[in-house]
Structure 1
């Protein structure tokens, strides 16, 4: 699959059924935390992902950070995201040194994940391990 060249971690739109949901998600993701932290993300639309499930999406992006990619993670707004009330995004590991598979996160936690992974303050597996039993990370 094609990974867009972005300055910040990509949030990729893979479901195009509801433009309103997409716009609300973008607002939620970039909304600063109470402490003033913001998610360093760029929003990208990729129609090639339409209809793919999370396994196919995650498998389509090889773990090639730091050699090939600028970011250790990407976020995907897929059919599951758009279908569920909490709007859990798929979080895909791109780090070739960490073997942890994808998990989901609520939009309000994209900032924590992106910020901590970008400065190597935490590792992907720490967030994946902290996901609730349903596989969604809602915070520590």
Structure 2
């Protein structure tokens, strides 16, 4: 069967899974909604290729169909798109003619930003591919972190509002003691997004970046708690040298990181790590 992509001068969104018409329409609707960039609204200019001839088309197949770019990229609505609750769309770099071309997935809400910038070559494929989350989905570029000074007394009062299931008792003990010994009334914090912090901790765990720390408390629980927050708003992260508590009485001092709700200051996650062996113990 000969498969030929249309030449329309617009970006192509090719349907490669025909298992659910309703999900296809919902994904198209989400991907073509206007995006407010702050200085105007933009829409993904997509030519929809809804042709059963492309059923099962893979990224490797795309490089065969597109023998000589343009197009330099193609979007695919594949089986994973239809199965994914977020309906993430697969972007394929057709400028790479290898049998395994570069790809990344796009959240439908980000299609106007991705499509517009790729179309005018304002940003390249790698710019987006290098900014995906741990799950390989691009959800937008991380905004610059902004600072916030937190009140020490308010932080201490908010500790009792934490969920025992989300934050281990020994981690809370370390946080409370470390915060209590903090010498200033204000604590420097940074606004962060829960998903970005989650992805960073997942990457650190995958690359075993805590292997040189003499002890680690709360890593798995931190990843779970940050995942549970998902896209539900900003957090503030702060850090302190650890105080000596019963939980770490026989261990070297280290560092305590805490993610708190930006409105209530209730701790969402606490990660405590000991200094590498051989570092000063006090």
Q: CA RMSD in A?
A: 2.4
Contact 2:75 2:89 in 1 (8 A): yes
Matches within 5 A, 1:89-104: 89-96=89-96, 101-104=102-105
Deviation, 1:96, is 4.4
- Give the secondary-structure state (helix, strand or coil) at the position aligned to 2:91: strand
> Mean Cα displacement is larger for which, 112-121 or 68-77?
68-77
Hey, what does 1:78 align to over in structure 2?
78
Measured against aligned partners, the alpha-carbon deviations of 1:38-71 in whole angstroms (never above 9, x if no partner) come to 111110123234345xxxx111122898x93343
- Give the secondary-structure state (helix, strand or coil) at the position aligned to 1:5: coil
Whole-angstrom CA distance in 2 between matches of 1:60 and 1:38: 28
Hey, what does 1:10 align to over in structure 2?
12
Matches within 5 A, 1:54-65: 57-62=58-63
Check if 1:50 corresponds to 2:51: no
Structure 2 unaligned regions, length at least 5: 142-282
Q: Which has the larger radius of gyration?
A: 2
Whole-angstrom CA distance in 1 between matches of 2:68 and 2:8: 12
Deviation, 1:15, is 1.1
Hey, what does 1:37 align to over in structure 2?
42
- Give the secondary-structure state (helix, strand or coil) at the position aligned to 2:41: coil
Whole-angstrom CA distance in 2 between matches of 1:44 and 1:50: 11
Contact 2:96 2:102 in 1 (8 A): no
Tell me the TM-score normalised to structure 2 length. 0.43
> Mean Cα displacement is larger for which, 69-78 or 130-139?
69-78
Whole-angstrom CA distance in 2 between matches of 1:100 and 1:19: 28
Check if 1:107 corresponds to 2:112: no
Bigger relative CO (Cα 8 Å, ≥ 6 apart) = 1
Structure 1 unaligned regions, length at least 5: none
Matched residue count: 134
Contact 1:11 1:42 in 2 (8 A): yes
Measured against aligned partners, the alpha-carbon deviations of 1:24-44 in whole angstroms (never above 9, x if no partner) come to 111111111123101111101
Whole-angstrom CA distance in 2 between matches of 1:29 and 1:88: 9
